[in-house]
Structure 1
Amino acid sequence: MTGEEVPPEARQLHERSLVVDAHNDLLMVCSRQPPARQGAFFRQTWLPQLRAGGVDVQVLPVFLEPEFRPEGALRQTLKMIETAWRIAEACPDEVRICLTGADLERARADGVLALIIALEGCEAVGLDVGLFETLYRLGVRMASFTHFGRTMLADGSAENDTGGRLTSAGVDAVAECERLGIVLDVSHLGAASTDHLLELARRPVVASHSSSFAVRAHHRNLTDEVMRAIAATGGVVGINVLAQFVDGHRHTVDRVADHLDHAASVVGADHVGLGPDFIKEVSDGLLRVDELAWGDRKPREYVPGLEGPAGLPRLTAELLRRGWAERDIRQVLGLSFHDVLVRELGKPG
């Protein structure tokens, strides 16, 4: 399935389902608008797409471009977190930042889009693990320690050849995040750092936006063993839809569904979700993204029909076409992530 119309049965199922997107870099775009315009920009540009895709819970990663690392990391992190709060204040009828599982449930009952602030890379923390408490006070509720490269806490997946595990500060950061109720995210961590974090974890761990290595052998994807280890913590694997992580050549909705099929066969639908990583609008002119940060210089490609949130019903249609049970589709669309977040978000350890 590519860009054709979604059949009515699939559309209706999608509309009845709770949808959680565990990774969308829209804050990168919104934060580059003048502060007074950020809320209105989100309402005009992103809210219609999220509503068209049926998104009920949106994780907002704070990603830092290379120009801000390391000297400007804390400043830019604070600016992006403030952007999230400006969006919520400008659109109180539509969205709400959620700090606890109870907040998530209230947002669902009130019919507003729940927003969760996350860190994608922890350059802002450096070696000062105590800053997680400050960031928690500002609303951060999910954290991955790095993005492709190396931080003071861990090595990213592009550094796999180094075999680097968590640093001593990274070990402390695991304990501190678990104490506070910040959900740990292994997407982008290197293989050894991922294994190390999973050895230490005492609370559910997620991979917010990582696909299956067995389907596409890319360092950003997860092996079956790692998926099982995440599931064993009670966590969830969010499947990424970026073309380079889906397949070397076949960039199609059905190929994304192959990743969902495989992950569900390994850990069950209750431990699989969606972490699409929609960045087309970010890359296509609203701001520059350094190609080197992606590990190659190839032009960015996208899965036709899944360039943004509005395409999510196409995944529902493809899973229905493959004979997935409605119950399992609803788990993958959002209930798996929602259940973990309701239990863990902001809950002191």
Structure 2
Amino acid sequence: MTDLHRDAVVADAHNDLLMLVARRPKEKWVGYFRDRWIPQLREGGIDVQVLPVFIDHEFRPEGALRETLRMIEAAHRIAEGNADQVTLCTTGAELDATVAAGRIALVLALEGCAQIDVDLELLQTMQRLGVRMASFTHFGRSALGDGSGEDATGSRLTKAGVEAVGLLEDLDVLVDISHVGRAGVEHILELATKPVVASHSSAFGLHEHHRNLTDEQLRGVAATGGVVCVNFFAGFLTADKPTVDHLADHIEYAVQVAGEDHVGLGSDFVQEVFDEKIPACDRPLIIEGLDAAVMVPGLEGPAGMPLVTDALQRRGMPEATLRKVLGGNLMQLLRR
């Protein structure tokens, strides 16, 4: 780990580790997180970790809200049981104090809103429980809008989705455009009066996958004052054998298009999730035409995060810009 990486604030806008915590008996949540994930986060130099609440298909629709509450409870318990190492933060002041004290700041997010459906009052419930970021869908269709896997429909947000944008802004919960279809992203950007975030999205201009953002969308997020957090998942970066340089390409591209004040990191580390949840009979796991087993070497988990800094330093990215990308921009957005 370089001195710069160690000294900089490093923030990751998307790691699904909470799914693995909640799979265990509640008595093991605290110890599992302490033994398995805190060492990886520390080795990676990560100061701020956003924890998405993603509800897998096995819980939808009937069990979505119940599993959401279990995962949120798990997040609170792992923070309370490891208070010397982490803090679950709900305000900018808590975020700054946690990082200054050398603890890891955890921030709760919703990925997909399967637990909300059209009952938008539950967004306020989620905010009361600590959620500070929310995306509207996953690859498919939800009650709020279509995911990028439904781009052929050309659909924008539903009526409930339009209302959700305004409600989340009122609640000071970040609207997350990652996974939303192209027309839906454009709709959100038209409606937004506050900054939005893309928690884990890469650049369509470098790799034409529907999960990636076009140049117009990158500039649109920046125009709101928001941040695009670049996804590390290999299939969204390149059709070739992936390397950390492909990721660095996407980061540099996003900086060039959106500006250095509007780019961050959204790792989407999923190898451990897939290794644990996907049985051998379902392998290889193909998601949206991509082999989910293919990862960027060295970036299978948070311990590899210093490789990103190394790659960008080798390319000559100015230190001030690099500090913003590593975490400064996302920290500023969360404070606001």
Same fold (TM over 0.5): yes
Consecutive unaligned residues of structure 2, counting only runs of 5 or more, are none
SS at match of 1:60: strand
Q: Which residue of 1 aligns with 2:15?
A: 24
Q: Which residue of 1 aligns with 2:219?
A: 228
CA distance in 1, matches of 2:158, 2:173: 19
CA distance in 1, matches of 2:139, 2:15: 17
SS at match of 1:153: coil
Q: Retained in 2: the 8 A contact 1:148–1:293?
A: no
CA distance in 1, matches of 2:255, 2:139: 26
CA distance in 2, matches of 1:299, 1:74: 27
Give 1:139 shift.
0.9
Give 1:103 shift.
1.1
Paired residue for 2:231, among 211, 215, 240? 240
SS at match of 1:197: helix
Identity across the alignment (%): 54
Q: Which residue of 2 aligns with 1:265?
A: 256
What is the one-letter code of the residue matched to 1:263? Answer: A
Q: Retained in 2: the 8 A contact 1:152–1:170?
A: yes
What is the one-letter code of the residue matched to 1:335? Answer: G
Q: Which residue of 2 aligns with 1:90?
A: 81
CA distance in 2, matches of 1:151, 1:164: 12
Per-residue CA deviation, residues 178-231 of structure 1 (Å, 9 max, x unaligned), is 001111100000001111011001110010000000111100000010000000
Residues paired across the two proteins, number: 333
Paired residue for 1:288, among 278, 287, 299? 278
TM-score normalised by L of structure 1: 0.93
**Does residue 1:153 correspond to 2:148, yes or no?**
no
Matches within 5 A, 1:1-349: 11-284=2-275, 286-288=276-278, 294-296=287-289, 298-343=291-336
What is the one-letter code of the residue matched to 1:268? Answer: G
CA distance in 1, matches of 2:185, 2:292: 29
CA distance in 1, matches of 2:130, 2:278: 27
What is the one-letter code of the residue matched to 2:325? Answer: V
SS at match of 1:59: strand
Q: Retained in 1: the 8 A contact 2:235–2:290?
A: no
What is the one-letter code of the residue matched to 2:277? Answer: L
RMSD: 1.4
Give 1:74 shift.
0.7
Q: Which residue of 2 aligns with 1:3?
A: none
CA distance in 1, matches of 2:285, 2:162: 28
What is the one-letter code of the residue matched to 1:313? Answer: P
Q: Judging changes above 3 Å, is the alpha-carbon distance between structure 1 residues 297 and 109 closer, same or farther for their aligned structure 2 residues?
A: closer
Q: Judging changes above 3 Å, is the alpha-carbon distance between structure 1 residues 148 and 292 closer, same or farther for their aligned structure 2 residues?
A: farther
SS at match of 2:291: coil
Consecutive unaligned residues of structure 1, counting only runs of 5 or more, are 1-5, 344-349
TM-score normalised by L of structure 2: 0.97
Q: Retained in 1: the 8 A contact 2:285–2:291?
A: no
Structure 1 stretch displaced more, 298-307 or 258-267:
298-307
